[in-house]
Structure 1
Amino acid sequence: MCRDCSCGELPTPAPTEAKVSAPAPPRRTLVLEAGLLAKNDHQAAHNRARFADLGLTVVNVLSAPGSGKTALLEQVSQRWTGGPVGVIVGDLATDNDARRLRRAGAEAVQITTGQGCHLEATMVARALEQLDPAALDLLLIENVGNLVCPTAFDLGEGLRLALTAVGEGEDKPLKYPGLFKSADAIVINKIDLAEAVGFHREEALANLSQVAPQARIFEVSARTGEGLEPLLAWLAAKGQ
């Protein structure tokens, strides 16, 4: 259960026995989610303005756990030629991914969310203070592995990249349309395993075209590096 947005929270069971005979007072519903998102959006606007002042390209990377986000960002960090790369990593626990990305040459900061299933704009703002953003050419935000909650939270990014892997099923975009509809680009990862897992490429592309016609599609292998150059060229062009 997310402690912030209450996804997965079970409804409070109705009492089995009335304890009070007096009429119950009128019930009021507080729209907590709307207030939470408004606060987040306010901070996201500040983040976006700061990124613009710095001329910094910022990419929010979202996917399910295990789709290969960290491996992809390792490849981008190693192959990026435009200047220093920074990464803000979100995980419930450990700093394993941040350490991997530092070894790949990135300036990496880990955000440990505990029970939180997504990053928020204030977390990104605090993490940015641990970097030297003026020295960076590209900032990658590796969001918490989750296909639902991170979609709703603007971090101030300029680009949103959704990642799916060939073993996750061709109908993933149909099951989680919100994520893919919000993406500027979609990476189909682990294409080196496509034949082994029986991946139906044309069906997957048709589903992506139906749900997210606005998004550029890149087919890559973060393990071998296959298909990375078109993605890198797209990111470089977006940063100009």
Structure 2
Amino acid sequence: MCITCGCESHRSSMGENQNHEHEHHHEQHTHHEPQVIHHHYYHNGDVHHHYHITAQEPIAKTFIPADVQNHHDKHNDNQQRLVEIEQHVLAKNDHIAEHNRQHFAERHIVALNLVSSPGSGKTTLLTQTLGYLSTKCPCAVIEGDQQTSNDAERIAQTGVPVIQVNTGKGCHLDADMVHKAAHQLTLPDNGFLFIENVGNLVCPASFDLGEKLKVVVMSVTEGDDKPLKYPHMFAAAGLMIINKVDLINYVNFDIQQCIINARKINPNLAIISLSCVSGEGLSDWFEWLEAQQCV
């Protein structure tokens, strides 16, 4: 459950709405016109309406009793209130994120927000990266997880400063968490700050942390249609890493199709395929990182 952005409330509201749409039986008058099925989608505090029009078929004309109408009115008021709360949360977050961004820019720190599903291999990729990059320039890490400090302990073994942020029931890092963590770290000038977000491809897409770019990591074990299933994250990212390509012969994954799917969502998305096991593509990733200091 995300207690910050309220997505659990949205899911509950959507479920209740669907039940009420199909449970009530009202007086019917047969009339032939297109059937319209109405769904609500939530993103960034807005309610987007999406309609599916089916073939011509009978549709019920309904009479809604006053008590049912009152229930729906109250339900809509609650949804509007949720939208207002989320807009407020995101506005406050964006204000702090801009402060973070200015702070990083003043110290010439390249801050990257690493996002992925759980198990994509981003912690392994990060430790490999630090082993190479920390010999060339200073680095630091903010590690986000709901519980445990396991990943932070792995990163600490590279000798790079790291701070663990546990979000508890929260499903993402926000700008204030990063702000507080950054001030507890000894952030290096002219270096890199890697922010490893909580494993989640939904809410982190909406929360700006003040980073320079989002780097979305996915593995070949996840399916080549992942960008189409989570379009907001891939639209928000500057780079997609296709990880674990050493397993390509053992899974049903088409790298070219994945790239096509990702470019449908974000035509400007940079893409690197790599493996931390075989080393394939790691040099491309390292070159991309070094280029970020020159931009």
SS of the residue corresponding to residue 142 of structure 2 reads: strand
2:292 and 2:16 map into 1 onto residues whose CA distance is 50
Q: TM-score normalized by structure 1?
A: 0.91
Structure 1 segments unaligned to the other structure (5+ residues): 19-23
Q: Deviations over 1:2-55 (max 9, x none)?
A: 1111213313969xxx7xxxxx99957430000000000000010000001100
On the 8 A contact 1:51/1:58 being kept in 2, the answer is yes
Same amino acid, percent of matched pairs: 43
Q: Tell me the equivalent position of 2:123.
A: 70
1:134 and 1:200 map into 2 onto residues whose CA distance is 40
On the 8 A contact 1:86/1:136 being kept in 2, the answer is no
Q: Tell me the equivalent position of 2:147.
A: 93
Sort the Cα spacing of 1:207 and 1:132 in 2 relative to 1 into closer, same or farther, 3 A.
Answer: same
1:188 and 1:210 map into 2 onto residues whose CA distance is 16
2:247 and 2:120 map into 1 onto residues whose CA distance is 12
* Structure 1 position 154 matched with structure 2 position 171: no
Q: Tell me the equivalent position of 1:174.
A: 228
TM-fit CA distance, 1:83: 1.2
Summarize the alignment of residues 51-130 of structure 1 with structure 2, pairs less than 5 Å apart. 51-80=104-133, 81-130=135-184
On the 8 A contact 1:60/1:143 being kept in 2, the answer is yes
1:107 and 1:226 map into 2 onto residues whose CA distance is 27
Match of 2:260 among 203, 206, 209: 206
Which one scores higher on RCO, CA 8 angstroms, separation ≥ 6?
1
Q: TM-score normalized by structure 2?
A: 0.75
Q: Deviations over 1:173-208 (max 9, x none)?
A: 011111111111100000001111132122112112
TM-fit CA distance, 1:135: 4.7
Summarize the alignment of residues 124-143 of structure 1 with structure 2, pairs less than 5 Å apart. 124-135=178-189, 137-143=191-197
TM-fit CA distance, 1:95: 0.4
What amino acid is the match of 1:111?
V
2:288 and 2:253 map into 1 onto residues whose CA distance is 25
How many residues are treated as equivalent by the alignment?
Answer: 235
Task: Give the stretch that moved more between structures: 223-232 or 24-33.
Answer: 24-33
Q: Tell me the equivalent position of 1:238.
A: 292
Summarize the alignment of residues 14-29 of structure 1 with structure 2, pairs less than 5 Å apart. 27=77, 29=80
SS of the residue corresponding to residue 8 of structure 2 reads: coil
SS of the residue corresponding to residue 104 of structure 1 reads: coil
* Structure 1 position 4 matched with structure 2 position 57: no
* Structure 1 position 43 matched with structure 2 position 131: no
On the 8 A contact 1:77/1:106 being kept in 2, the answer is yes
Q: Could you say which structure has the larger radius of gyration?
A: 2
Structure 2 segments unaligned to the other structure (5+ residues): 18-66, 68-72
